[in-house]
Structure 1
Amino acid sequence: MSVILDVKGLEASYGPTNVLHGLDFSLEEGGVTTILGANGAGKTTTLRAISGMVERKGVINVGGKELSTLRPADITRQGIAHVPEGRGTFVRMSTEDNLRLGAYTRKDKNEIEADIERVYSYFPILKQRRDQQAGTLSGGEAQMLAVGRALMLRPKLLLLDEPSFGLAPLIVQELFEILKRINVEDGVSMLLVEQNAALALDLADHAYLLETGNIVISGTSDSILENETVRRSYLGY
Protein backbone atom coordinates (compact mmCIF):
# COMPACT_ATOMS: atom_id res chain seq x y z
CA MET A 1 0.00 0.00 0.00
CA SER A 2 1.35 3.45 -0.93
CA VAL A 3 1.96 6.31 1.48
CA ILE A 4 -0.47 9.23 1.14
CA LEU A 5 1.03 11.46 3.85
CA ASP A 6 4.74 11.65 4.58
CA VAL A 7 5.97 14.17 7.14
CA LYS A 8 9.65 14.78 7.87
CA GLY A 9 11.18 17.12 10.43
CA LEU A 10 7.94 18.97 11.15
CA GLU A 11 8.39 21.94 13.44
CA ALA A 12 5.65 24.40 14.38
CA SER A 13 5.42 27.45 16.57
CA TYR A 14 3.13 30.17 17.83
CA GLY A 15 5.27 33.27 17.74
CA PRO A 16 8.43 32.57 19.77
CA THR A 17 6.98 29.41 21.34
CA ASN A 18 8.03 26.17 19.63
CA VAL A 19 5.39 23.44 19.93
CA LEU A 20 6.55 20.68 17.56
CA HIS A 21 10.18 19.61 17.49
CA GLY A 22 10.92 17.72 14.28
CA LEU A 23 8.15 15.12 13.87
CA ASP A 24 8.56 12.26 11.41
CA PHE A 25 5.46 10.20 10.60
CA SER A 26 3.47 8.81 7.71
CA LEU A 27 0.02 7.54 6.80
CA GLU A 28 -0.78 4.80 4.33
CA GLU A 29 -3.35 5.44 1.62
CA GLY A 30 -6.75 4.21 2.77
CA GLY A 31 -5.55 3.91 6.36
CA VAL A 32 -6.53 5.54 9.64
CA THR A 33 -3.75 6.87 11.86
CA THR A 34 -4.33 8.42 15.27
CA ILE A 35 -2.19 10.84 17.23
CA LEU A 36 -2.50 10.38 20.98
CA GLY A 37 -1.21 12.50 23.83
CA ALA A 38 -2.10 14.62 26.82
CA ASN A 39 -3.46 18.15 26.54
CA GLY A 40 -0.72 20.45 25.31
CA ALA A 41 1.30 17.68 23.68
CA GLY A 42 0.97 19.25 20.21
CA LYS A 43 -1.77 17.09 18.66
CA THR A 44 -3.97 19.92 17.38
CA THR A 45 -0.91 21.89 16.28
CA THR A 46 0.16 18.92 14.14
CA LEU A 47 -3.11 19.03 12.20
CA ARG A 48 -2.92 22.81 11.92
CA ALA A 49 0.61 22.57 10.59
CA ILE A 50 -0.46 20.15 7.86
CA SER A 51 -3.32 22.51 6.95
CA GLY A 52 -1.00 25.53 6.85
CA MET A 53 -2.72 27.28 9.74
CA VAL A 54 0.42 27.83 11.85
CA GLU A 55 4.01 28.76 11.18
CA ARG A 56 5.89 25.57 10.35
CA LYS A 57 9.06 24.07 8.90
CA GLY A 58 9.81 20.66 7.47
CA VAL A 59 8.48 18.48 4.66
CA ILE A 60 4.76 17.72 4.28
CA ASN A 61 4.20 15.49 1.28
CA VAL A 62 0.65 14.43 0.35
CA GLY A 63 0.15 12.15 -2.62
CA GLY A 64 3.56 13.08 -4.00
CA LYS A 65 3.05 16.86 -3.72
CA GLU A 66 4.96 19.04 -1.29
CA LEU A 67 2.57 21.22 0.74
CA SER A 68 4.74 23.00 3.27
CA THR A 69 4.97 26.19 1.19
CA LEU A 70 1.29 26.33 0.19
CA ARG A 71 -1.42 28.52 1.68
CA PRO A 72 -4.37 26.90 3.49
CA ALA A 73 -6.76 27.43 0.55
CA ASP A 74 -4.32 25.80 -1.85
CA ILE A 75 -3.81 22.88 0.53
CA THR A 76 -7.58 22.35 0.60
CA ARG A 77 -7.56 22.20 -3.20
CA GLN A 78 -5.14 19.29 -2.95
CA GLY A 79 -7.91 17.23 -1.31
CA ILE A 80 -7.05 17.83 2.34
CA ALA A 81 -10.15 18.43 4.49
CA HIS A 82 -9.78 19.57 8.10
CA VAL A 83 -12.56 19.10 10.68
CA PRO A 84 -11.39 21.34 13.52
CA GLU A 85 -12.09 20.99 17.21
CA GLY A 86 -15.25 22.95 17.93
CA ARG A 87 -16.81 21.98 14.57
CA GLY A 88 -16.49 25.38 12.85
CA THR A 89 -19.90 25.40 11.17
CA PHE A 90 -21.46 28.61 9.87
CA VAL A 91 -24.20 29.03 12.44
CA ARG A 92 -26.45 31.46 10.52
CA MET A 93 -26.51 29.30 7.40
CA SER A 94 -28.75 26.31 6.89
CA THR A 95 -27.47 22.77 7.24
CA GLU A 96 -27.60 22.21 3.49
CA ASP A 97 -25.92 25.53 2.69
CA ASN A 98 -23.09 24.49 5.01
CA LEU A 99 -22.72 21.29 3.00
CA ARG A 100 -22.69 23.20 -0.28
CA LEU A 101 -20.00 25.48 1.09
CA GLY A 102 -17.82 22.40 1.54
CA ALA A 103 -17.85 21.95 -2.24
CA TYR A 104 -16.86 25.54 -3.03
CA THR A 105 -13.76 24.45 -4.98
CA ARG A 106 -15.76 22.09 -7.22
CA LYS A 107 -17.51 22.79 -10.54
CA ASP A 108 -19.29 19.47 -11.09
CA LYS A 109 -22.81 20.56 -10.10
CA ASN A 110 -24.56 17.25 -10.78
CA GLU A 111 -22.02 15.30 -8.75
CA ILE A 112 -22.28 17.83 -5.94
CA GLU A 113 -26.00 17.07 -5.68
CA ALA A 114 -25.23 13.35 -5.60
CA ASP A 115 -22.65 13.88 -2.88
CA ILE A 116 -25.12 15.83 -0.75
CA GLU A 117 -27.42 12.84 -0.90
CA ARG A 118 -24.50 10.58 -0.02
CA VAL A 119 -23.76 12.69 3.06
CA TYR A 120 -27.44 12.40 3.98
CA SER A 121 -27.16 8.62 3.64
CA TYR A 122 -24.40 8.64 6.25
CA PHE A 123 -26.16 11.19 8.46
CA PRO A 124 -29.95 10.87 7.99
CA ILE A 125 -30.61 13.37 10.78
CA LEU A 126 -28.97 16.08 8.67
CA LYS A 127 -31.52 15.51 5.90
CA GLN A 128 -34.26 16.11 8.45
CA ARG A 129 -32.46 19.32 9.46
CA ARG A 130 -31.50 20.43 5.92
CA ASP A 131 -33.35 23.79 6.15
CA GLN A 132 -32.54 24.40 9.82
CA GLN A 133 -29.96 26.98 10.87
CA ALA A 134 -26.73 25.24 11.79
CA GLY A 135 -26.55 27.24 15.01
CA THR A 136 -29.67 25.51 16.31
CA LEU A 137 -28.34 21.96 15.85
CA SER A 138 -27.39 19.80 18.81
CA GLY A 139 -23.70 19.18 19.49
CA GLY A 140 -23.83 15.76 17.86
CA GLU A 141 -25.67 17.07 14.82
CA ALA A 142 -23.19 19.93 14.46
CA GLN A 143 -20.28 17.49 14.55
CA MET A 144 -21.95 15.34 11.91
CA LEU A 145 -22.44 18.46 9.80
CA ALA A 146 -18.77 19.37 10.16
CA VAL A 147 -17.73 15.91 8.94
CA GLY A 148 -20.33 15.98 6.16
CA ARG A 149 -19.14 19.38 4.96
CA ALA A 150 -15.57 18.08 4.82
CA LEU A 151 -16.72 15.09 2.76
CA MET A 152 -18.21 17.47 0.19
CA LEU A 153 -14.64 18.31 -0.81
CA ARG A 154 -14.24 14.65 -1.87
CA PRO A 155 -11.06 14.56 0.22
CA LYS A 156 -8.29 12.04 -0.16
CA LEU A 157 -7.15 12.89 3.37
CA LEU A 158 -9.45 13.83 6.26
CA LEU A 159 -7.95 15.53 9.32
CA LEU A 160 -10.16 15.07 12.40
CA ASP A 161 -9.52 17.04 15.60
CA GLU A 162 -11.25 15.63 18.70
CA PRO A 163 -14.51 14.58 16.99
CA SER A 164 -15.89 13.10 20.23
CA PHE A 165 -15.38 16.28 22.26
CA GLY A 166 -18.45 17.26 24.26
CA LEU A 167 -20.70 14.55 22.84
CA ALA A 168 -22.81 11.97 24.65
CA PRO A 169 -21.40 8.40 24.56
CA LEU A 170 -24.15 7.03 22.29
CA ILE A 171 -23.61 9.86 19.79
CA VAL A 172 -19.86 9.25 19.89
CA GLN A 173 -20.36 5.56 19.17
CA GLU A 174 -22.64 6.35 16.24
CA LEU A 175 -20.24 8.94 14.84
CA PHE A 176 -17.24 6.62 14.98
CA GLU A 177 -19.18 3.82 13.31
CA ILE A 178 -19.95 6.23 10.47
CA LEU A 179 -16.29 7.31 10.25
CA LYS A 180 -15.38 3.65 9.86
CA ARG A 181 -17.89 3.30 7.03
CA ILE A 182 -16.49 6.39 5.30
CA ASN A 183 -12.99 4.95 5.53
CA VAL A 184 -13.98 1.50 4.27
CA GLU A 185 -16.64 2.39 1.70
CA ASP A 186 -15.15 5.59 0.27
CA GLY A 187 -11.48 4.81 0.90
CA VAL A 188 -10.88 8.15 2.64
CA SER A 189 -7.59 8.21 4.54
CA MET A 190 -7.84 9.75 8.00
CA LEU A 191 -5.49 11.37 10.49
CA LEU A 192 -7.31 11.45 13.81
CA VAL A 193 -6.55 13.43 16.95
CA GLU A 194 -8.63 12.09 19.82
CA GLN A 195 -8.45 12.37 23.60
CA ASN A 196 -10.35 9.08 24.01
CA ALA A 197 -7.45 6.73 23.32
CA ALA A 198 -9.50 3.52 23.42
CA LEU A 199 -11.94 4.89 20.87
CA ALA A 200 -9.17 6.16 18.62
CA LEU A 201 -7.21 2.91 18.69
CA ASP A 202 -10.34 0.94 17.87
CA LEU A 203 -10.82 2.96 14.67
CA ALA A 204 -7.17 3.39 13.69
CA ASP A 205 -4.69 0.88 12.31
CA HIS A 206 -1.61 2.89 13.35
CA ALA A 207 -0.84 5.28 16.20
CA TYR A 208 1.71 7.82 17.37
CA LEU A 209 2.05 9.07 20.94
CA LEU A 210 3.11 12.70 21.36
CA GLU A 211 4.71 14.18 24.46
CA THR A 212 5.69 17.87 24.52
CA GLY A 213 5.93 18.07 20.75
CA ASN A 214 7.92 14.87 20.23
CA ILE A 215 6.88 11.40 19.09
CA VAL A 216 7.82 8.98 21.86
CA ILE A 217 5.99 5.81 20.79
CA SER A 218 4.68 4.60 17.44
CA GLY A 219 3.34 1.37 16.02
CA THR A 220 0.24 -0.52 15.01
CA SER A 221 -2.87 0.06 17.08
CA ASP A 222 -2.61 -3.48 18.44
CA SER A 223 0.97 -2.97 19.57
CA ILE A 224 0.10 0.38 21.18
CA LEU A 225 -2.78 -1.27 23.05
CA GLU A 226 -0.30 -3.76 24.50
CA ASN A 227 2.14 -1.04 25.59
CA GLU A 228 2.09 -0.79 29.37
CA THR A 229 2.86 2.94 29.42
CA VAL A 230 -0.04 3.69 27.09
CA ARG A 231 -2.40 1.40 28.98
CA ARG A 232 -1.67 2.97 32.35
CA SER A 233 -1.56 6.59 31.19
CA TYR A 234 -4.31 6.68 28.57
CA LEU A 235 -6.49 3.59 28.93
CA GLY A 236 -6.70 3.37 32.70
CA TYR A 237 -5.72 -0.27 33.26
Structure 2
Amino acid sequence: MARLLEVQGLSAYYGSIQALFEIDFTLDEGSVTAILGANGAGKTTTLRALCRTVHTTGSVRFDGQELAGKPTESIVRLGVAHVPDGRGTFTGLSVEENLRLGAITRRDRAGVAEDFEKTYARFPRLRERRHQQAGTLSGGEQQMLAISRALMLRPRLLLLDEPSFGLAPLVVAEIFRIMRSINREDRVSMLLVEQNASLALDLADHAYLLETGRVAMSGPSEQVRADESVRHAYLGR
Protein backbone atom coordinates (compact mmCIF):
# COMPACT_ATOMS: atom_id res chain seq x y z
CA MET A 1 0.00 0.00 0.00
CA ALA A 2 1.12 3.57 -0.70
CA ARG A 3 2.20 5.76 2.19
CA LEU A 4 -0.52 8.35 2.90
CA LEU A 5 0.70 9.98 6.11
CA GLU A 6 4.26 10.36 7.33
CA VAL A 7 5.01 12.10 10.62
CA GLN A 8 8.58 12.85 11.67
CA GLY A 9 9.81 14.57 14.81
CA LEU A 10 6.38 15.94 15.69
CA SER A 11 6.25 17.98 18.89
CA ALA A 12 3.22 19.86 20.18
CA TYR A 13 2.77 22.61 22.74
CA TYR A 14 0.04 24.24 24.79
CA GLY A 15 1.68 27.57 25.50
CA SER A 16 4.94 26.76 27.26
CA ILE A 17 3.85 23.19 28.08
CA GLN A 18 5.18 20.51 25.72
CA ALA A 19 2.72 17.64 25.19
CA LEU A 20 4.38 15.64 22.37
CA PHE A 21 8.09 14.94 22.09
CA GLU A 22 9.36 14.36 18.54
CA ILE A 23 7.10 11.43 17.71
CA ASP A 24 7.35 9.51 14.44
CA PHE A 25 4.67 7.39 12.81
CA THR A 26 3.23 6.48 9.42
CA LEU A 27 -0.08 5.38 7.96
CA ASP A 28 -0.62 3.56 4.66
CA GLU A 29 -3.48 4.42 2.33
CA GLY A 30 -6.54 2.27 2.97
CA SER A 31 -5.34 1.15 6.40
CA VAL A 32 -6.47 1.73 9.98
CA THR A 33 -3.87 2.81 12.53
CA ALA A 34 -4.64 3.01 16.25
CA ILE A 35 -3.02 5.27 18.82
CA LEU A 36 -3.28 3.81 22.30
CA GLY A 37 -2.34 5.14 25.71
CA ALA A 38 -3.59 6.24 29.09
CA ASN A 39 -5.24 9.59 29.81
CA GLY A 40 -2.73 12.37 29.29
CA ALA A 41 -0.47 10.31 27.03
CA GLY A 42 -0.89 12.72 24.11
CA LYS A 43 -3.41 10.85 21.95
CA THR A 44 -5.88 13.70 21.41
CA THR A 45 -3.02 16.17 21.05
CA THR A 46 -1.64 14.06 18.20
CA LEU A 47 -4.86 14.47 16.21
CA ARG A 48 -4.97 18.19 16.97
CA ALA A 49 -1.36 18.51 15.86
CA LEU A 50 -2.16 16.90 12.51
CA CYS A 51 -4.94 19.45 11.99
CA ARG A 52 -2.69 22.30 13.14
CA THR A 53 -5.03 23.39 15.93
CA VAL A 54 -2.13 23.41 18.42
CA HIS A 55 1.39 24.81 18.03
CA THR A 56 3.71 22.21 16.52
CA THR A 57 7.20 21.62 15.23
CA GLY A 58 8.36 18.78 13.02
CA SER A 59 7.15 17.39 9.71
CA VAL A 60 3.73 16.05 8.71
CA ARG A 61 3.42 14.92 5.10
CA PHE A 62 0.03 13.95 3.68
CA ASP A 63 0.18 12.23 0.30
CA GLY A 64 3.60 13.79 -0.17
CA GLN A 65 2.53 17.34 0.73
CA GLU A 66 4.03 19.04 3.75
CA LEU A 67 1.29 20.33 6.06
CA ALA A 68 3.51 22.62 8.14
CA GLY A 69 2.31 26.18 7.79
CA LYS A 70 -1.00 25.24 6.19
CA PRO A 71 -4.17 26.51 7.91
CA THR A 72 -6.66 23.96 9.18
CA GLU A 73 -9.16 24.69 6.41
CA SER A 74 -6.54 23.88 3.76
CA ILE A 75 -5.81 20.56 5.45
CA VAL A 76 -9.53 19.76 5.39
CA ARG A 77 -9.68 20.53 1.67
CA LEU A 78 -6.85 18.06 1.07
CA GLY A 79 -9.14 15.34 2.43
CA VAL A 80 -8.47 15.12 6.17
CA ALA A 81 -11.61 14.99 8.34
CA HIS A 82 -11.56 15.11 12.14
CA VAL A 83 -14.20 13.64 14.47
CA PRO A 84 -13.19 15.22 17.79
CA ASP A 85 -13.73 13.95 21.29
CA GLY A 86 -17.10 15.07 22.60
CA ARG A 87 -18.54 14.53 19.08
CA GLY A 88 -18.60 18.21 18.13
CA THR A 89 -22.01 18.29 16.47
CA PHE A 90 -23.83 21.60 16.05
CA THR A 91 -26.49 20.96 18.65
CA GLY A 92 -28.84 23.75 17.57
CA LEU A 93 -28.97 22.53 13.96
CA SER A 94 -30.89 19.58 12.59
CA VAL A 95 -29.31 16.29 11.59
CA GLU A 96 -29.66 17.22 7.92
CA GLU A 97 -28.16 20.67 8.44
CA ASN A 98 -25.16 19.12 10.21
CA LEU A 99 -24.62 16.78 7.28
CA ARG A 100 -24.85 19.64 4.78
CA LEU A 101 -22.16 21.50 6.72
CA GLY A 102 -19.92 18.47 6.29
CA ALA A 103 -20.21 18.85 2.53
CA ILE A 104 -19.80 22.63 2.49
CA THR A 105 -16.55 22.53 0.48
CA ARG A 106 -18.03 20.29 -2.23
CA ARG A 107 -19.60 21.42 -5.51
CA ASP A 108 -20.75 18.03 -6.85
CA ARG A 109 -24.46 18.16 -6.02
CA ALA A 110 -25.17 14.70 -7.38
CA GLY A 111 -22.35 13.24 -5.28
CA VAL A 112 -23.60 15.01 -2.16
CA ALA A 113 -27.11 13.64 -2.73
CA GLU A 114 -25.64 10.17 -3.19
CA ASP A 115 -23.72 10.49 0.08
CA PHE A 116 -26.86 11.57 1.93
CA GLU A 117 -28.51 8.33 0.84
CA LYS A 118 -25.43 6.32 1.76
CA THR A 119 -25.41 7.92 5.22
CA TYR A 120 -29.07 7.17 5.81
CA ALA A 121 -28.60 3.59 4.62
CA ARG A 122 -25.74 3.10 7.08
CA PHE A 123 -27.49 4.87 9.95
CA PRO A 124 -31.27 4.50 9.50
CA ARG A 125 -31.87 6.31 12.79
CA LEU A 126 -30.39 9.46 11.29
CA ARG A 127 -32.92 9.30 8.45
CA GLU A 128 -35.73 8.99 11.01
CA ARG A 129 -34.37 12.02 12.88
CA ARG A 130 -33.14 14.10 9.95
CA HIS A 131 -35.29 17.12 10.93
CA GLN A 132 -34.53 16.77 14.65
CA GLN A 133 -32.07 19.05 16.45
CA ALA A 134 -28.73 17.32 16.99
CA GLY A 135 -28.70 18.32 20.65
CA THR A 136 -31.77 16.17 21.32
CA LEU A 137 -30.20 12.97 19.97
CA SER A 138 -28.87 10.21 22.19
CA GLY A 139 -25.11 9.95 22.69
CA GLY A 140 -24.86 7.09 20.20
CA GLU A 141 -26.89 8.96 17.60
CA GLN A 142 -24.71 12.05 18.04
CA GLN A 143 -21.60 9.93 17.44
CA MET A 144 -23.19 8.46 14.31
CA LEU A 145 -23.93 12.00 13.15
CA ALA A 146 -20.40 13.22 13.88
CA ILE A 147 -18.86 10.39 11.85
CA SER A 148 -21.37 10.86 9.04
CA ARG A 149 -20.77 14.61 8.87
CA ALA A 150 -17.03 13.99 8.52
CA LEU A 151 -17.67 11.43 5.76
CA MET A 152 -19.72 13.99 3.80
CA LEU A 153 -16.38 15.59 2.98
CA ARG A 154 -15.42 12.35 1.17
CA PRO A 155 -12.14 12.32 3.08
CA ARG A 156 -9.11 10.22 2.31
CA LEU A 157 -8.15 10.20 5.99
CA LEU A 158 -10.56 10.13 8.93
CA LEU A 159 -9.23 11.13 12.35
CA LEU A 160 -11.36 9.60 15.11
CA ASP A 161 -10.99 10.65 18.74
CA GLU A 162 -12.48 8.22 21.29
CA PRO A 163 -15.56 7.19 19.26
CA SER A 164 -16.62 4.70 21.96
CA PHE A 165 -16.51 7.16 24.86
CA GLY A 166 -19.63 7.18 27.04
CA LEU A 167 -21.62 4.83 24.82
CA ALA A 168 -23.42 1.59 25.64
CA PRO A 169 -21.61 -1.59 24.50
CA LEU A 170 -24.24 -2.49 21.89
CA VAL A 171 -24.01 0.98 20.34
CA VAL A 172 -20.21 0.82 20.35
CA ALA A 173 -20.30 -2.55 18.60
CA GLU A 174 -22.61 -1.15 15.90
CA ILE A 175 -20.46 1.93 15.32
CA PHE A 176 -17.25 -0.08 15.07
CA ARG A 177 -18.89 -2.54 12.68
CA ILE A 178 -19.87 0.35 10.42
CA MET A 179 -16.41 1.92 10.72
CA ARG A 180 -14.92 -1.36 9.52
CA SER A 181 -17.24 -1.40 6.51
CA ILE A 182 -16.39 2.23 5.69
CA ASN A 183 -12.71 1.34 5.68
CA ARG A 184 -13.10 -1.82 3.63
CA GLU A 185 -15.78 -0.74 1.17
CA ASP A 186 -14.97 2.96 0.70
CA ARG A 187 -11.22 2.59 1.34
CA VAL A 188 -11.21 5.49 3.79
CA SER A 189 -7.98 5.46 5.80
CA MET A 190 -8.40 5.96 9.54
CA LEU A 191 -6.27 7.15 12.44
CA LEU A 192 -8.08 6.01 15.56
CA VAL A 193 -7.48 7.30 19.08
CA GLU A 194 -9.18 4.97 21.53
CA GLN A 195 -8.84 4.07 25.21
CA ASN A 196 -10.60 0.76 24.64
CA ALA A 197 -7.47 -1.00 23.42
CA SER A 198 -9.20 -4.27 22.63
CA LEU A 199 -11.71 -2.59 20.31
CA ALA A 200 -9.02 -0.51 18.65
CA LEU A 201 -6.72 -3.47 18.04
CA ASP A 202 -9.60 -5.48 16.56
CA LEU A 203 -10.15 -2.75 13.95
CA ALA A 204 -6.61 -1.54 13.31
CA ASP A 205 -3.88 -2.94 11.10
CA HIS A 206 -1.11 -1.17 13.00
CA ALA A 207 -0.85 0.42 16.44
CA TYR A 208 1.29 2.91 18.33
CA LEU A 209 1.42 3.17 22.11
CA LEU A 210 2.00 6.64 23.55
CA GLU A 211 3.34 7.26 27.04
CA THR A 212 3.77 10.84 28.28
CA GLY A 213 3.96 12.24 24.77
CA ARG A 214 6.43 9.72 23.38
CA VAL A 215 6.05 6.58 21.26
CA ALA A 216 6.74 3.68 23.62
CA MET A 217 5.86 0.85 21.23
CA SER A 218 4.62 0.25 17.70
CA GLY A 219 3.91 -2.65 15.41
CA PRO A 220 1.19 -4.68 13.72
CA SER A 221 -1.90 -4.84 15.90
CA GLU A 222 -1.56 -8.53 16.68
CA GLN A 223 2.05 -8.02 17.75
CA VAL A 224 1.09 -5.14 20.05
CA ARG A 225 -1.82 -7.16 21.45
CA ALA A 226 0.52 -10.05 22.28
CA ASP A 227 2.95 -7.88 24.24
CA GLU A 228 2.80 -8.79 27.92
CA SER A 229 2.97 -5.20 29.18
CA VAL A 230 0.13 -4.14 26.87
CA ARG A 231 -1.98 -7.13 27.89
CA HIS A 232 -1.50 -6.28 31.55
CA ALA A 233 -1.93 -2.48 31.36
CA TYR A 234 -4.53 -2.05 28.61
CA LEU A 235 -6.30 -5.36 28.00
CA GLY A 236 -6.88 -6.44 31.60
CA ARG A 237 -5.22 -9.82 31.11
What TM-score results when the alignment is normalised by the length of structure 1?
0.99
1:96 matched residue in structure 2: 96
Distance 1:105 1:44 in 2: 25
The question of whether the paired residues in 2 share the 8 Å contact of 1:50 and 1:68 is answered with: no
**SS in structure 2 of the partner of residue 7 of structure 1:** strand
**Deviation readout 1:181-212 (Å, 9 max, x if unpaired):** 00000000000000000000000010000000
**Deviation readout 1:68-98 (Å, 9 max, x if unpaired):** 2111111100100000000000011110110
Q: What amino acid is the match of 2:201?
A: L
Long gaps (5+) in structure 2: none
Q: Which consecutive segments of 4 or more residues in structure 1 shift more than 3 A?
A: none
**Post-superposition shift, 1:120?**
1.0
1:80 matched residue in structure 2: 80
**Post-superposition shift, 1:62?**
0.7
**Post-superposition shift, 1:121?**
1.3
2:230 matched residue in structure 1: 230
1:190 matched residue in structure 2: 190
Distance 2:119 2:52 in 1: 26
**Deviation readout 1:147-172 (Å, 9 max, x if unpaired):** 00000000000000000000000000
RMSD: 0.5
1:147 matched residue in structure 2: 147
What TM-score results when the alignment is normalised by the length of structure 2?
0.99
* Superposition map of 1:60-139 within 5 A: 60-139=60-139
Distance 2:53 2:177 in 1: 29
**Post-superposition shift, 1:107?**
0.8
1:215 matched residue in structure 2: 215
Moved more, 115-124 or 187-196: 115-124
The percentage of aligned residue pairs carrying the same residue is 61
Distance 1:185 1:68 in 2: 31
Q: What amino acid is the match of 1:179?
A: M
* Superposition map of 1:33-44 within 5 A: 33-44=33-44
Distance 1:198 1:229 in 2: 14
Distance 1:162 1:42 in 2: 13
Distance 1:113 1:68 in 2: 34
**Post-superposition shift, 1:48?**
0.2
Long gaps (5+) in structure 1: none
**SS in structure 1 of the partner of residue 164 of structure 2:** coil
Distance 2:36 2:69 in 1: 26
**Post-superposition shift, 1:13?**
0.4
1:28 matched residue in structure 2: 28
Distance 1:118 1:63 in 2: 26
Q: What amino acid is the match of 1:79?
A: G
**SS in structure 2 of the partner of residue 195 of structure 1:** coil
Distance 1:130 1:161 in 2: 24
Distance 2:75 2:154 in 1: 13
Q: What amino acid is the match of 1:105?
A: T
